[in-house]
Structure 1
Amino acid sequence: MSKIFISCALPYANGPCHLGHLRSTYLPADIYARYNRMVGNDVLFVCATDEHGTPIAVKADKENKKPIEVAKRYHDMIVRDVESCNISLDNFTRTTDEAHYKIAQDFFLELYDKELIYKKDIRQLYCENCSKFLPDRYVEGTCSFCGADARGDHCESCGRHLEPTELDDPKCLTCASTPVIKDTYQYFFALSNFQKDIENYISNNDNLPPNVKNYASNWLKDGLEDWVLTRDMDWGIPVPLDEAKGKVIYVWGEAFLGYISSASQWSKKSNKKWEEYWDEDVIHFIGKDIIYHHAIFWPALLKGYGCKLPDNIYAGEFLSLEGEKMSTSKNWVVWISDFVKSFDSDLLRYYLTINAPLNKDTDFSWDDFQRRNNDELADVIGNFLHRTFTFTHKYFNGEIPDYINPSREDKYFEDALNKTPSLVGDLIKDLKFREALIEIFKIAKIGNKYFNDQEPWKAVKENPEQAANTIYLSNQLSKILAICLKPYLPKKADEIASILNLENSNEWKDASVFMPTGHSISKAKPLFKKIEDDVIEKEKENLYENLVSDNMSDLITIDEFAKVDIRIGQIKEAEKIEKSNKLLKLQVDIGEKTIQVVAGLAQNYSTDELLNQKVAVVVNLQPAKLFGTDSEGMLLATEESVALLHPDECNVGEKLM
């Protein structure tokens, strides 16, 4: 038996969880944890909410609340989201817990005493109006590299990491005044001391997946520079030095330790030593956007402290939505809390796993989600199970029949059953979660073919022995599905086990043990239902409507409004979009050219009455894809009555002031 320390990236407590969070971190970590428990390993699976840093402080300022109130609100939401998807954490805590503060401050002092943290004079932006130095997220301006709007820590347009002093035309986020540069000091971690150590860790660690190695190696090429480890803020863990009043530990200098503080609190409750798990095998499940934090900064901090480094860092790639990048600010996102109101979370767990390997970007599509649920879960796995259980009751009194004189087809199928548990288990052990799930789906598909080929509805009269063999083996596959699906679909797997009257089906090795003749099973229940078109249509329309509503509701400055280019256009063509009750595809003449616009007008206007109407249209929006159709602009209309604005006396192509 091995001890395994499993963690998933700490969710940041400034918003609830969406599907991308689940796909990249919590779900793969949970699959791995559940499987290892089933094979008898001793697992410690921990996480916590990350509750410090400038984004939470900024949000609190905007809401006129205390940062701890914002963090608590989202902590509660995240706990609800994680629990709703059956993530089997052993402990889930917060980085605002007293225990975390002590661990983080002790960690800082140990590195400081070893002279790996040192004080350094620097120049920093200072807001004279607010009388304070400005941490990164408290500054906005223009990226000096690409010219796009950017924050003081990052440019989303070109992807560069920034320092606030690298922004052109910087503004204080609180009061919008222009800050000045003043002399101050911060504490730095001697990251450059660990160049060779991290190079060895990355190059010689065969556990690390290629995407982690490649990303980290690219960072190492230019050489590591010492890392500023403190900020001038009220919100955060105070630097534990008398000389450092008003300074807190940078969130990335203490958030990693949430793994340790969560584990240590678990130790107090369980009377077990978390260190025994860490010392044996440690694996972090993260998203690819924080690879360099976990593969460079975190190992260097641990090395400096004198701790064993993580054995593996598994980074899930990004999840897009309907072909477009997810954006929480635009509400182009599916929140977990919304999803589980309409669908069983096991369906989401299946789709996010089967859709693509974790080391590749993938897309969430409502149509594809429906297809996979209907064609795979309902038509293949669900259909096989239902037929097996129904035939067992109809022809064999609800008991596993005898298995006598198996045919060549029986033996072939039996051999495939015997190989499946170890094949699936080995793939999960190697972190090939999608490949393992595909093998489970394949054996269910083979089971359906075997069932069809043997025609037990005929054989029960013409060849009863063969019919008994078919139902015997089909029930054995049902047991294999009940066990092998458990890491992926824990609720559905338990439902299958309940029908089979398997009280203790939590050990992986049980999948290889056939149920005996005479074992009684319960009657079949619907396990996987098909999702109707109108249900998916509603989800897609809600997604689009929420995007429009979000874009129209945000407060903007006069400078931002000046960037909006509104022209008078004339609708030249209009047609309905297939499978949508609300959306129309319009060709709109704006004078210099004709653009295509997708608009939610179908329930208020016919295509004929829109032809040749003059409309006000925003023409400089980034192109978007809605229902698979490109849209290059937005018509201006009222929100509730969906009435178009009619500039009939204006000229086509005329620009509004």
Structure 2
Amino acid sequence: MNQTPLLVTCGLPYTNGPCHLGHLRTYVPADAYVRYMRRAGEEVVFVCGSDNHGTPIVVSAEEAGTTPRALSEKYHKHFDETFKRMGVVFDRFGMTDDPANHHRTQDIVTRLQENGYIYKQVVHQAYCTKCKRFLPDRYVEGVCPHCGKPARGDECDQGCGKHLEPGEIKDPVCKVCGTKAEFRDQEHFFFKLSEFRDFLLPHLDQLRGTTNAKNYAIGWIKDELHDWCITRTLDWGVKFPGRDDLVVYVWVDAPIGYIAFTEEWAKANNKDWKRYWCGDNRVTHFIGGDIIYHHAIFWPALLKGAGYGVPHAVVASGMVKVDDHKFSKSRGYVVWTNDDYLDKGLPVDYLRYYLLSYTSHTKELNFAWPLFAERINNEVVNIFGNFVYRTLYFAQKEFEGIPAGDVDPAIMAEIEKTLANVDQLMRDYEFKGAVDAVMGLAAFGNTYIQTNAPWKLVKTDRAAAAQVIKNACQIVKALALLIQPVMPEAAERCWKELGFYDEVAKHPVSDALHAVPEACLKPPTPLFVKMEEAQVKELDALLQKRVADANKKAEKIPVVTFEEFQKLDLRTGKVLSAEPVPKSNKLLKLMVDIGSEKRQIVAGMQQFYKPEEIVGMDVVVVTNLAPAKIFGVESNGMVLAAGDAASLLVPLKPVEPGTKIR
């Protein structure tokens, strides 16, 4: 057992909408990890909370005719209850708008000021003359200064994905009233992130967690670090020390919430929160892949500057697709945790199993109802459930329970090998591998009992049949102990079927190597029920209807005149060369011959085409698009493609580069 306690956190859910499958991609693996580490002998504290500040909550509250606090409390309760229904159990689930976080945030910001890491600067910020206020973050929309795509005030969400500081956005428009905004001078405070490069590189070298988090962060550090504006002109939020007109940026007070929630837990349990956050620690952050920058770069720099310990590990999950499409609430590709799953009475353990076993934690997870049912029926029901039921059924029928005697050493050796494998995989955050190892033991059990056929053996050698069943019951015990972090409800039922009266969660995983005792058993019931085809079709039909309804809504596109359409200069082009854009996993830099000249164009298709696949292809190009810089690379045009898979539009017959599209 490690003497340093383990503090595990999850990225904070934002309190302006309900819980969906994308949220669970982070929380279920974190909960499974915590459950396992506790039963492996570690001292673990598991904290999280709701993220209550920022412009989107203010905007949502105004639209709903309520206050930001009331809206936050509504969704805080929703997430708290939903997590509990999913078996995700935090030691503390707090709110960033509660006094503990206000106090801790202001204390840390003051420390940063005292240590010389915060300075003030006048910036040009968008101001709405109609609403008579400065427009922070998502109160303003406009054009990204880097790539020229539509963007919101704090991020180019439809283009290059870059973070935008106040005043950077071009052609700002007030999102509330639609008035064109003007730029006015406003004093703000900046954090000297640029001074932490020499600290961050060695820190990231030692950082544990998933490689996607580490490598992504190192890529940013080796390029350039820009100072962060850490104040906003809002009434809602944590007041910046000494200023009534400014609040702290949400990406400052939200991660500080991890500390505040630890303080709240420690106070309630008579513990010292500093033991978890000061000096060497084992703080482990489970996050979504879209917030790696904040947790692996900005957050450790903030902690270092304030004199705190820095994170031990960052575990970043891959994204979620629904029905093999990019997750999108507006397009209907979403599965709501309550409405679409829990409220329909579907087993919590099934969804937990799928989220942990579908793919590696860092890879993209695809959810589709037929895939979900197939995996549950083939693996959970047919392998795990079948072995447990047939073993306990035969034990009770022929021997009234678990026979006396020792377990064969070969069986114990197989269990011991599985325990070691699972332990290593869980500590390496390879959750799919760990689940596969447990299912491998269940498959071993099925093969063992099928090969030895105790239903035949009992007719000729009752003692030998009893030995087979004793061995099989030992495997069932090991499976109950090992599967508990993944499927806690099923593990508990399995434990009780074995004749135990206490909770499986109170036993260390190593108890799998203690011989299962002789016991009288009641007739068992199956642990799992198959998902029927009719049920799966009904669930899938609801998803498809949601997508269809969203598409109908999206089809209401503004009509353009023929004269407006004629302004677009569409021509054919031939791709002469293609290469990946550095530090981007989406962009390709193309050189395209459009007849009169050769154009450099940046296109978001790296995940769909290898560079060599598109060299020599005829494509369709918008040639009169304003030039834009994307990831620092100039783009002079747009290559047209269709659908989520970026299917290139190409002429059916060979044409000369530069041929006009009519």
1:353 to 356, 369, 389: 356
Code of the residue aligned with 1:495 in structure 2: it is: R
- Is the alpha carbon distance of 1:68 and 1:7 closer, same or farther for their aligned partners in structure 2, counting shifts above 3 Å? same
Match of 2:578?
none
CA-CA distance at 1:238 after TM superposition: 1.1
- Asked if the contact 1:239/1:248 (under 8 Å) is kept, the reply is yes
Q: Distance in 2 between matches of 1:553 and 1:361?
A: 28
Match of 2:544?
544
The yes-or-no answer on 1:524 pairing with 2:521 is: no
Q: Distance in 1 between matches of 2:56 and 2:402?
A: 60
- Asked if the contact 1:34/1:88 (under 8 Å) is kept, the reply is no
**1:122 aligns to what SS in structure 2?**
strand
- Is the alpha carbon distance of 1:563 and 1:73 closer, same or farther for their aligned partners in structure 2, counting shifts above 3 Å? farther
CA-CA distance at 1:137 after TM superposition: 0.7
Match of 2:68?
67
Match of 1:263?
262
Q: Distance in 2 between matches of 1:530 and 1:504?
A: 26
1:215-614 alignment runs, 5 A limit: 215-241=216-242, 244-278=243-277, 279-337=280-338, 338-342=340-344, 343-403=346-406, 412-502=410-500, 503-505=502-504, 506-516=507-517, 518-550=518-550, 552=552, 561-562=558-559
Match of 1:648?
none
Q: Distance in 1 between matches of 2:430 and 2:209?
A: 13
1:71-110 alignment runs, 5 A limit: 71-110=72-111
Aligned length: 560
**2:519 aligns to what SS in structure 1?**
coil
**2:208 aligns to what SS in structure 1?**
coil
CA-CA distance at 1:201 after TM superposition: 0.7
CA-CA distance at 1:147 after TM superposition: 4.2
Match of 2:180?
178
Q: Distance in 2 between matches of 1:383 and 1:171?
A: 61
**1:115 aligns to what SS in structure 2?**
coil
CA-CA distance at 1:128 after TM superposition: 0.8
- Is the alpha carbon distance of 1:164 and 1:533 closer, same or farther for their aligned partners in structure 2, counting shifts above 3 Å? farther
Q: Distance in 2 between matches of 1:522 and 1:149?
A: 65
1:11-50 alignment runs, 5 A limit: 11-23=13-25, 25-50=26-51
- Is the alpha carbon distance of 1:531 and 1:621 closer, same or farther for their aligned partners in structure 2, counting shifts above 3 Å? farther
**2:413 aligns to what SS in structure 1?**
helix
- Asked if the contact 1:413/1:450 (under 8 Å) is kept, the reply is no
Code of the residue aligned with 2:228 in structure 1: it is: W
- Structure 1 window deviating more from structure 2 (158-167 vs 529-538): it is 158-167
**2:353 aligns to what SS in structure 1?**
helix
CA-CA distance at 1:452 after TM superposition: 0.8
- Is the alpha carbon distance of 1:165 and 1:239 closer, same or farther for their aligned partners in structure 2, counting shifts above 3 Å? closer
The Cα offsets for residues 42-83 of structure 1, whole Å up to 9 and x where unpaired, read as 111100100000111111122222111221111111112211
The Cα offsets for residues 256-276 of structure 1, whole Å up to 9 and x where unpaired, read as 111111010011110011222
CA-CA distance at 1:326 after TM superposition: 0.6
**2:520 aligns to what SS in structure 1?**
coil
Code of the residue aligned with 2:333 in structure 1: it is: W
Q: Distance in 2 between matches of 1:260 and 1:336?
A: 28
Q: Distance in 2 between matches of 1:78 and 1:550?
A: 25
Q: Taking structure 1 as the reference length, what is the TM-score of the superposition?
A: 0.81
**2:432 aligns to what SS in structure 1?**
helix
Q: Distance in 2 between matches of 1:31 and 1:232?
A: 40
CA-CA distance at 1:463 after TM superposition: 2.3
**1:125 aligns to what SS in structure 2?**
strand
Q: Distance in 2 between matches of 1:282 and 1:112?
A: 25
Match of 1:9?
11
Match of 1:193?
195
Code of the residue aligned with 2:186 in structure 1: it is: T
Q: Distance in 1 between matches of 2:317 and 2:21?
A: 13
**2:127 aligns to what SS in structure 1?**
strand
- Asked if the contact 2:117/2:305 (under 8 Å) is kept, the reply is yes
- Root-mean-square deviation (Å): 2.3
Q: Distance in 1 between matches of 2:384 and 2:369?
A: 20
1:597-636 alignment runs, 5 A limit: 623=643
Code of the residue aligned with 2:546 in structure 1: it is: N
**1:140 aligns to what SS in structure 2?**
strand
Q: Distance in 1 between matches of 2:328 and 2:244?
A: 37
Code of the residue aligned with 2:542 in structure 1: it is: N
The Cα offsets for residues 463-492 of structure 1, whole Å up to 9 and x where unpaired, read as 222211111011001100110011111111
Q: Distance in 2 between matches of 1:121 and 1:141?
A: 21
Match of 2:135?
134
**2:422 aligns to what SS in structure 1?**
helix
CA-CA distance at 1:378 after TM superposition: 0.5
**2:121 aligns to what SS in structure 1?**
strand
Q: Taking structure 2 as the reference length, what is the TM-score of the superposition?
A: 0.81
- Is the alpha carbon distance of 1:96 and 1:126 closer, same or farther for their aligned partners in structure 2, counting shifts above 3 Å? same
- Asked if the contact 1:127/1:134 (under 8 Å) is kept, the reply is yes
- Asked if the contact 1:288/1:317 (under 8 Å) is kept, the reply is yes
Match of 2:654?
none
The Cα offsets for residues 528-555 of structure 1, whole Å up to 9 and x where unpaired, read as 1110111111111111212333455689
Q: Distance in 1 between matches of 2:529 and 2:209?
A: 39
Match of 1:616?
none
CA-CA distance at 1:403 after TM superposition: 4.9
Code of the residue aligned with 2:40 in structure 1: it is: V
- Asked if the contact 1:139/1:164 (under 8 Å) is kept, the reply is no
Q: Distance in 1 between matches of 2:523 and 2:389?
A: 9
- Asked if the contact 2:209/2:429 (under 8 Å) is kept, the reply is no
Unaligned stretches of 5+ in structure 2? 563-639, 650-662
- Structure 1 window deviating more from structure 2 (12-21 vs 436-445): it is 12-21
The Cα offsets for residues 90-149 of structure 1, whole Å up to 9 and x where unpaired, read as 110000111111111111111112221111111111111111111021111233444433
- Is the alpha carbon distance of 1:334 and 1:564 closer, same or farther for their aligned partners in structure 2, counting shifts above 3 Å? farther
CA-CA distance at 1:563 after TM superposition: 6.3
**1:11 aligns to what SS in structure 2?**
coil
- Asked if the contact 1:141/1:152 (under 8 Å) is kept, the reply is yes
Q: Distance in 2 between matches of 1:236 and 1:106?
A: 15
Q: Distance in 1 between matches of 2:642 and 2:520?
A: 61
**1:462 aligns to what SS in structure 2?**
coil
Code of the residue aligned with 2:102 in structure 1: it is: Y
Q: Distance in 2 between matches of 1:411 and 1:513?
A: 12
- Is the alpha carbon distance of 1:69 and 1:553 closer, same or farther for their aligned partners in structure 2, counting shifts above 3 Å? farther
- Asked if the contact 1:322/1:364 (under 8 Å) is kept, the reply is yes
**2:124 aligns to what SS in structure 1?**
strand
Code of the residue aligned with 1:524 in structure 2: it is: P
